[in-house]
Amino acid sequence: MKVILDYVLNSGNIATIVLLVLSFYLILVFYIFIYKYLTLGSVLRVEKKSLTYLASGGDLSGVMSKLKRCIGNSGVSKELLKACETSLIRELSSGITWLSIISSTAPFIGLFGTVVGILDSFATFATQTKVGFSVIAPAISEALVATAAGIFVAIFAYTFHQLIVRKLYIINTYLQSQSEILLLKS
């Protein structure tokens, strides 16, 4: 922890801003993931129960699915069911685009911090007459921290995005299966 604090205190303004942006990104990634993962988990349980109920011969009145709420008291039709499926998946997937955006931009933000840090180091070295590897190496390694932070954030964002997309896929298959059963029963 002391190393990180020393780095932030001794780094330039750009590096500090880059690390703050990446910190915000990381917090946002975890917030979106936890919120969506829990929300989709509860929806998944309901849709699984509804599919099991319908598959065992139950009718629409005993279903607790989001699909039933979308249909309401309307008659079951293929077009209405497809529109409801699409609408529900769109609703459930809101917000996960941010995970994709963060996973693709975080490494570039980190790289920007690294480039600025290296340029700042070279500007400092320009005023010195003799610069050895023992002076250059620590400055370059400090600059590379920003890239490492960007990659670190991107790994979480990408992984969480894939986990949530998988849950959405499973929910979508449950909705489609329910629609097919409802169409067979009508």
Separation CA 8–CA 4 (nearest Å): 6
If pLDDT is split at 50, 70 and 90, which confidence band does 68 have?
confident
pTM: 0.85
Q: How confident is the model at residue 1 (pLDDT cuts 50, 70, 90)?
A: low
Whether residue 106 is predicted with pLDDT greater than 90 in this model: the reply is yes
pLDDT at site 186: 72
